[in-house]
Structures are given as structure tokens and as C-alpha cells.
A and B are shown apart, each in its own frame.
Chain A
Amino acid sequence: MGREPASSEKQGLLKVIRLAPQFLILLFLIFLIPLEPTYIQSLATKILIFAIFAMSLDLIIGYAGIMSLGHAAFFGAAGYGAGILAVRFSIDNIWLGLASGILLATFIAAVFGIIALQAKGIYSILITFALGQLLYSLATKWRSVTNGDYGLWGVPLPALGLSGFEWNGTYYYYFVFLAFLVCYLCLYRLVKSPFGKSLQGIREGESRMRALGYNTWLFKYVAFVIAGMFAGVAGVLFAYHSGIITPGDLAVMNSGFVMLMVIAGGIGTIYGAAIGAALIITIQYYAGILTADRWPLILGGVFVLTIMYARAGVGVYFYSLWKRALVRWKF
């Protein structure tokens, strides 16, 4: 930003060097993960799914500055949308499943957004909580559709539409990885755009933004709906990955879970949320192995410790180390 351009060749080489961590991570994800045993691949798939989920939340809490405790509602709703299509209607097409889940999530976000953004201050936060729980109640009560507390199980991975193609864990991992890549690039572009900058302005000073001519409500609303849409993407991928979708996936506790990821990785950076997802899912996995019943306790402890001591974000911390190294090595 604001640098005078050097020779374009040198610029190109510099750019590549500066992006080294991203390249390494990409190489790791593309080539190394598929060589690992199935349970690692499954874990990686889950991480990428929650990374999409977390990045979508970062758009509203990190950029627009809207604190939402009900984001899991869109995630879960999309999961149910895809799940219902597959289980109740036996529709065997992954693209239709994705479309229905994402559309459902977007629609719910459009409705919830109007209600949630109507309120001011703490009431806004409380309403997101309430709306999240509303969907949870609906999922538990509407047994004929959602199978209630037992959850909608037996969700198969629908056909890709290519003849002769059979899913397996590795193929699904690649599918999710591609989805992650697309979502990451879209969100990245979005936050760097004038729209994204405007969201940051609203977060930093809504009254000033209004005095400057911005219809701040509209910006927040659009961001809220877009975030809901991306959460929906994650929700559908999650349903296919787990094979089951339960009311808990919609609940406030899940909203808090994904919020922990965003904070742990670093709010307001998009990549932070992805790193946070990797961190927290990994901790959850190994905590679950350590103690079958007490892992939420560990998670709660991690939650508290993160807020107390690491709320700037672990991902942000490491990235800043890298940037400092670049400066020192004159890149």
C-alpha cells in the first residue's frame, strides 16, 4: 500500500517469497495429508469445514463488528437442508444438496438479520442468542422432519454426477479442500474490497460512517447474509462428512465453539479464523481421546485461557513473527 513500484521482475520474486508460508501450507494440504492414515484425513476434512464456518463468522464479528451468538443456526440449518433432501427425499445429487442447504441458510440469515440488526447494543447480542436457540427448539420439536433429539442420521454422500465415480475419504477431503479454497479466496477478496473496508469503518465508528454518507444498516445486513451463506456451505459439507446432523449443531454452544476458533486464531484477519479452526479442532480431538467425558472441561479451560491470554490470536501472532522476519531479512 502506497509503495512506489520497483522493477516488476523483482516485485514478482519478492511476492513469491513473502507468500512462502501460504505456499507451504497449500503444499502440505494438497500433497501430504492424503498420504496420512484415514483418521488424519478425516480430521483434516473436519478442520477445513470448520475453517469455512469460522471465516464466515469472522466476517461479521471481525469486520462488521456484529457480535453474534447464533451463527451456528445457519450452519445447522444448511446441514439439515442437505440431510433432509438426502434422507427424506432420497435425492442423490450433491449439487442439489449443496444448493438447498446454502439457500436455506441464506434465507434464514436474511430473516434473522432483519430482526437481529433491529436491536441496539446488548439486545442485539441477546437476540442472536435467542434466534439460535429458536432454531434449536425447532429442530428438537419437529420430529417428523428432523428426527428430533436423535438427530438425522444416515446421511449419505450424494453422487457427484460423474458416472462411475465412487466417494471415499480422500476424494471427499479434496472436495472439501477445493470448497475451502474457493471460500477463502472469495472472503479474502471481499474484505479487501471497498465493501470490506466499509465494514471495518462501521466496526470502528458507525456514527462517523453514517455522517460520511454510508447506509450502515444495509452494509451490516448484507455482510450478515453473506456470512450466513458461507456458514451454510460449511454446514452442508459437515452433514455429508459426519453422516448425521443433530440439533446440537444448531445450538448456541456450537456458536460459541466456532467463536472460540475465530478468537484463538485472530479476529479480523480471515486467515486467523482458519488457523483457529485447525487449533481448536485438533485440541478437541486429542482431548476427546484423553478423556471421553471430560473433554468439554478441557475445551472450557482452553476457552478461558484463550480469552485471558491469547485473545490477539495465535495465528496473528505467528504471522506477525513471519512479517518481522521478512523485514529483518530485507524482503
Chain B
Amino acid sequence: MNIVLLNILNAISYGAILFLLASGFSLIFGVMGVLNLSHGALYVVGAYMGWTTAVAHGISFWLGALAGGLVAGLISLIMEAGFFRRLYKQLNEQMLLTFGFVYILDNLSRWIWGPSYRAPFTSPALSGSFTILGSPYPAVRIAIILIGIVIAVGLWWLQDKTRAGAMIRAGMDDKETAVALGINLPLVATVAFFVGSFLAGFAGVIGAGVTGVYPEMSMSVMLLVLAVIIIGGVGSVQGTLVGAGILGAIDAFGKALFPDYAMFTVYLAMIIVLLVKPSGILGRQV
């Protein structure tokens, strides 16, 4: 296969994982105003949960993905009901709280699943490869791309074409007016938090096919989320798509061109975007 096409496919598949992750984070931030620094940890927990279901117990991979998402969502509910609600409107404190949760989640993951690296795993149906233009390409990555597209379309449709999406966007833009219009913001917030965290856990299982899992991942994952947000802008599906796409491309081509320093191209991109358009390429004016 043409090396460029290979890298493009790698970029899109990696970008798809980032998109799933970052859209959850963006949703949570947009509606609740909270920077959920434990989002990366939720990815990791979801991935581990998926591993336990699919690999350790041999149950369906897709159930594992669901389980991963649900566990992450459940954790978010605990965080929200038990802690965030008591710190109503104190956004800095809520962010710091998520930091504390990173310690807890990281260590719990280590405790339950041990410190070793889990090799990339995926559904048995996807462990082969498809032949594209005469060369084999991992099926799992194709699946990731397809899932990413489906969810991207779904989220976009939700955001722009449904009442629920309108309520969420209203909550993001002007909380007071939204409440005045009778929108139940606390409920919207809880739902958004759950959905966003579910996406993180789900992304963890799906993405594990490419990244594998290990306990120290949470902060590196978090960094990627932040990179997507900084580059693409927060608050819209389109922004997250742009950010994830660019980051996927940087990662794929970076790894191909300078394998040891691929990470730094990410930072470079972030800094450039920051200096040129501080709220991200498609970001709403902060």
C-alpha cells in the first residue's frame, strides 16, 4: 500500500479514538464548566473493564466495550452526586477535585488489575486484516474508523438536530436564560457528565485495540485530550473533529517521519494554535 495512504488511514483511526475521548470531555466542560482532569483515568478504567470482560472472561468484546463505558459512567455519577453537587458553581474546586480522583482511580486500577502492560486487544472478529489496494491493513483500525464516523454523525445530529442537543447548547451558552426557559439544567448536566464519561470508557475499550492499557496512561491520555481541545476548540462536535483530525495526522506522520520526537510535534502544534488563535481553530470566543 502506498505509504501515504497507510499513514492517512493511521491518522484517521487514531483521530477517531481521540475524537471519542475528546468529545466526552468537551461535552462535560461545555455543559458543566468543569475541566474533568480524570477523563484520561476513565479511559484507562474503561479499557481495563473491557479487558476483564473480553479477555479475562472471554465474553463478547462488544459487551466489554459497553461495560467499559458503563463503569466510567457510573464513576461519573458517583463523582457528580457525591461531590460536585456539593460544590455548586465552584469550578476551580471541582477541577481540583477531579485531580484528586486521578490519584484514586489510578491507584485503584493498579490495585485491581496490577501494574503490568496489557497488550492491545480487540474483538476476535477484528483481529485479522482487510486488504486495501493490494495491502493488508488491520481490521481493528478500520472498525475504529467506522465506529468513529457513526458516533461523530450521531453526536452531530444530536447537537444540531434534536431538542436535547438544543438544550445542551443553550446550557453552554447562557445558563441563566436556559434555566429561565424551564430547561432542567442539573439534569442536563448529570446526563452530559454521564454520556461524556461513557464515551471515555467506551473509547478506552475500542482504542485499546491500538494503544493497549497500562496504569500510567491516564495523564498521557489526558494530555492528548487537552491537545485536541486546544487545537480544535471546545464546545462543538465540529471543533473536536478538527482537533482530533489534526492531531491524528500529526501523530501518524510524526511517527513516520521522526519516530522519537513525534510527541513534540503535538506540543508544537498546540503552541502554534495558541499563539495564532487562542480559543482553538473552531472554538467559541472565550
Instruction: Please say whether the chains A and B touch (CB closer than 8 A).
Output: yes
Residues of A within 8 A of B (CB): 67, 69, 115, 118-123, 125-127, 129-130, 133-134, 137-138, 141, 251-253, 256, 259-260, 263, 293-294, 296-297, 299-301, 303-304, 306-308, 311
| 26 residue pairs from A and B, CB less than 8 Å apart | A115-B271, A119-B278, A125-B35, A125-B95, A127-B230, A127-B274, A130-B267, A133-B219, A133-B220, A133-B223, A134-B267, A137-B263, A252-B222, A256-B99, A259-B96, A293-B110, A293-B111, A296-B107, A297-B111, A299-B103, A300-B107, A301-B104, A304-B83, A307-B96, A307-B100, A308-B97
Whole-angstrom distance between the alpha carbons of A119 and B283 in the complex?
A: 13
The answer to whether the Cβ of B92 comes within 8 Å of any Cβ in the partner chain is yes
| Chain B stretch 17-48: residues in CB contact (< 8 A) with chain A | 29, 35, 37
Question: Which residues from chain B contact A123 at a C-beta distance below 8 Å?
Answer: 230, 274, 278-280, 286
Interface SS of chain B: helix
- The answer on a CB contact under 8 Å between B107 and A126 is no
Q: Is B163 an interface residue (CB 8 A)?
A: no
Q: How far is the CA of A269 from the CA of B227 in the complex (A)?
A: 34
Least Cβ distance of B178 to chain A in Å? 20
Output the nearest chain B residue to A67 by Cβ-Cβ distance.
B92
Could you tell me if B223 and A129 are in contact, using CB atoms closer than 8 angstroms? Answer: yes
B91 to chain A, nearest CB (A): 9
B 262-277 binary contact with A (CB < 8 Å = 1; else 0): 0110010011001100
A65 → B minimal CB distance (Å): 10
**Complex contact B274–A118 (CB within 8 A):** yes
Q: Which of B29, B270, B280 has the most chain A CB atoms inside 10 A of its CB? A: B270
Interface residues on B, range: 35 or more
- Which residues of chain A are within 8 angstroms of B267 by Cβ–Cβ distance? 130, 134, 137
- A131 to B, closest residue via Cβ: B267
- Whether B97 pairs with A252 at a CB distance below 8 angstroms is no
Is A120's CB under 8 angstroms from B103's CB? no
Q: Could you say which residues of chain B place their CB within 8 Å of the CB of A293? A: 107, 110-111
Minimal beta-carbon separation of B27 from chain A (angstroms) = 14
Chain B residue numbers with a CB within 8 Å of A260 are 100
The answer on a CB contact under 8 Å between A300 and B102 is yes
In the complex, B237 has a CB within 8 A of chain A: no
Q: Chain B residues near A296 (CB, 8 Å)? A: 103-104, 106-107
Residue of B nearest to A311 (CB): B93
Give the CA-CA distance A147 to B87 in the complex, in Å. 43
How many angstroms from the CA of A259 to the CA of B37 in the assembled complex?
14
Given known A-B contacts A121-B286, A130-B230, A304 and B110 have beta carbons under 8 A apart: no
Q: B103 to chain A: which residues have CB within 8 Å? A: 253, 256, 296-297, 299-300, 303
What number of residue pairs across chains A and B have CB atoms under 8 A from each other? 114
A251 to B216, CA, bound (A): 12
Q: How far is the CB of B116 from chain A (nearest CB, A)?
A: 14
A129 to B25, CA, bound (A): 15
- A294 with B278: CB separation less than 8 A: no
Partner of A127 from the list B35, B92, B270 (CB cut-off 8 Å) is B270
Give me 11 other A-B pairs in contact (C-beta within 8 A), A123-B286, A130-B227, A308-B97 excluded.
A67-B92, A120-B279, A125-B35, A126-B226, A127-B274, A129-B37, A134-B267, A137-B264, A297-B108, A297-B111, A303-B103
The residues in B between 212 and 247 inclusive whose CB is less than 8 angstroms from any CB of A are 219-220, 222-223, 226-227, 229-230, 234
In the complex, chain A residues whose CB is within 8 Å of the CB of B230: 123, 126-127, 130
- What is the distance, in angstroms, from A14's C-beta to the closest C-beta of chain B? 38
Query: How far apart sit A259 and B103, CA to CA, in the bound complex (Å)?
Result: 14
Give the shortest distance, in Å, between A250 (CB) and chain B (any CB): 12
Residue contact A294 to B286, C-beta cutoff 8 Å:
no
Q: Is the CB of A126 within 8 A of B96?
A: no
> A70 CB to closest chain B CB, in angstroms?
11
Q: Is the CB of B278 within 8 A of A304?
A: no
A267 to B44, CA, bound (A): 32
Q: How far is the CA of A297 from the CA of B105 in the complex (A)?
A: 8
Q: How far is the CB of A292 from chain B (nearest CB, A)?
A: 12
* A120 with B278: CB separation less than 8 A: yes
Question: Which residues of chain A come closer than 8 Å to B174, judged between CB atoms?
Answer: none
Query: Which of B35, B103, B220 has most chain A Cβ within 10 Å?
Result: B103
Is there contact, CB below 8 Å, between B219 and A120? no
- Complex: how many Å from CA A294 to CA B104? 9
Query: Which residues of A sit under 8 angstroms from B130, Cβ to Cβ?
Result: none
Chain B, residue nearest A301 (CB): B104
With A123-B278, A123-B280 known as contacts, the answer to whether A297 contacts B107 (CB < 8 A) is yes
B261 part of interface (Cβ distance < 8 Å): yes
User: Which chain B residue lies CB-closest to A248?
Assistant: B216
Q: Which residue of A lies closest to B86 (CB)?
A: A308
Pair A253/B100 contact, Cβ less than 8 Å: no
Query: In whole Å, how far is A124's beta carbon from the nearest beta carbon of chain B?
Result: 9
CB nearest neighbor in A for B226:
A126
Residues of A within 8 A of B271 (CB): 115
Are B234 and A122 closer than 8 Å at their CB atoms?
A: yes
Interfacial chain A residues near B264, Cβ < 8 Å: 134, 137-138
Chain B residues with CB under 8 Å of A294's CB are: 107, 111
Contacts of A121 in B (CB 8 A): 286
Whether B286 contacts A263 by the Cβ 8 Å rule is no
B101 close to A (CB within 8 Å)? yes
For B111, the closest partner residue in chain A by CB is A294
Interface centre among B29, B223, B279 (most CB of A within 10 A): B223
Could you tell me if B29 and A122 are in contact, using CB atoms closer than 8 angstroms? yes
A133 CB, min distance to chain B CBs, angstroms = 5
User: In the complex, A282→B98 CA distance in Å?
Assistant: 23
Residues from chain B with a CB closer than 8 A to the CB of A138 are 264
For residue A304, which residue of chain B has the nearest CB? B100
Provide the bound-state CA to CA distance between A67 and B229, in Å: 18
